[in-house]
Structure 1
Amino acid sequence: MTHTEDPRPHYSAALTWVHQLMDGVHPAQLDAPTPCPDFDVRALLGHLVCTVERARVIGEGGDPTSVPPVVTDVPDDGWADAYGSATVGLWKVWSDDAALDRMVTPPWGTVPGHAAVRGYLNETLVHGWDLAVATGQDPETDPDLAGTALAGARRFIPAEPRGGHMPFGPVIPSAPDAGPTERLANWSGHART
């Protein structure tokens, strides 16, 4: 590997956190709104499964748009299982150290594998925060994990411009007592409703 830090342990921790959040979702919450205005809880669950599937597909050298932005063919009580299965498939591809230096093409452009994993780490944490807020669960993951992701997001996702081809809303000012996961979500344009 030619980069300085392997992002896979952080990504694994983020995936585990979101999987635990999915286990805490009740069927009555599936139609509830989320801080991400494009998704209710059900659609957000489908998008989270999509992101894992897309990360696997790009690791295999495939086209991420072959996976729909929202997976819909999962029964209401099967989201955590679908996410867990997708995660197993993802690690079959990304467990190879060489994958981190291989050029891959996620939806945002061609980058080294380690940069793609960092991008999916951020997306996982932000949408995990969305899910936790929408379903009344603890919206803060491990502070070191979220802090690392936040530092990376501030370095690689500009504050401006936002919207258009940049898939982030305007930066939301964080509350003084906001934790690092909420600050990451705010940097990505997500706020509590």
Structure 2
Amino acid sequence: MTNDPRTLYARTAAQFAGLLKTVTPDELERSTPCTEYDARQLISHVVGATRRFAVIGEGGDGMAVPTHTDGVADEGWSDAFEEVLRRATAAWADDAKLAGEYTVPWGRVPGAAAVGGYVMETLTHTWDLSRALGHPVPLDEELALAVLPLAQQALPADRRGEEVPFAAVREVPADADAYDRLAAWLGREV
């Protein structure tokens, strides 16, 4: 990943936004590979996590922001995500933010690492939602190729358990695409 992961974040968030526009209300109860969430809960989580990311970038206490969003109508998820995405983009627009120190769910980190973590979060949940929906749109393989090494560095296979909320690394076929390799690294069944 580059020293400035905001471009990757913008591409990842745009990809999630595009996928989200394909979701119909009758698909919101579908199971996802992120076993703790159905599609509605997963979307709610991404909207909430993006709001948290925005608050962190604005200098607020992101850890006080719930990672789920309530009160959104089934047809309103796309607009809700676009709204918090605009806020997050504005919050992280200043280049100086990348060198600052921020408290995020995985510790106190430089701004570039905070943005990188949210790239990984959003991209992984994009795959989760895409899989739940039957892959209605192609995903950008280049994004997964960029994020996979970050995931392998940030979440080594031997650091799974109580402190790290990811299951053990799963096996994937040798010809698995980058999204499946990323999902498997994060403990998802592919």
TM-score, length basis structure 1: 0.93
Who is 1:114 aligned against? 112
Who is 1:66 aligned against? 64
Aligned partner of 1:8: which letter? R
Deviation (angstroms), 1:76: 0.3
RMSD: 1.6
**Cα separation, partners in 2 of 1:61 and 1:171, compared to 1, 3 Å:** same
Moved beyond 4 Å, runs of 4+:
none
Deviation (angstroms), 1:136: 1.2
Aligned partner of 1:32: which letter? R
Equivalent of residue 49 in structure 1, options 47, 60, 66: 47
User: What is the percentage of aligned positions where both structures have the same residue?
Assistant: 41
2:22–2:136 CA contact under 8 A, matched in 1:
no
Give the distance between the partners of 1:139 and 1:4, measured in 2 at CA.
26
Indicate yes or no: 2:7 matched with 1:9.
yes
* Greater alpha carbon shift after TM alignment, 138-147 vs 68-77: 138-147
* Greater alpha carbon shift after TM alignment, 60-69 vs 74-83: 60-69
Deviation (angstroms), 1:186: 1.1
Indicate yes or no: 2:80 matched with 1:78.
no
Give the distance between the partners of 1:173 and 1:4, measured in 2 at CA.
28
User: How many pairs does the alignment contain?
Assistant: 190
Deviation (angstroms), 1:52: 0.8
Give the distance between the partners of 2:6 and 2:119, measured in 1 at CA.
9
Unpaired runs of at least 5, structure 1: none
Equivalent of residue 174 in structure 1, options 169, 172, 175: 172
Deviation (angstroms), 1:74: 0.8
Give the distance between the partners of 2:14 and 2:161, measured in 1 at CA.
30
* Greater alpha carbon shift after TM alignment, 90-99 vs 167-176: 167-176
Deviation (angstroms), 1:16: 0.4
Unpaired runs of at least 5, structure 2: none
TM-score, length basis structure 2: 0.94
Deviation (angstroms), 1:144: 1.8
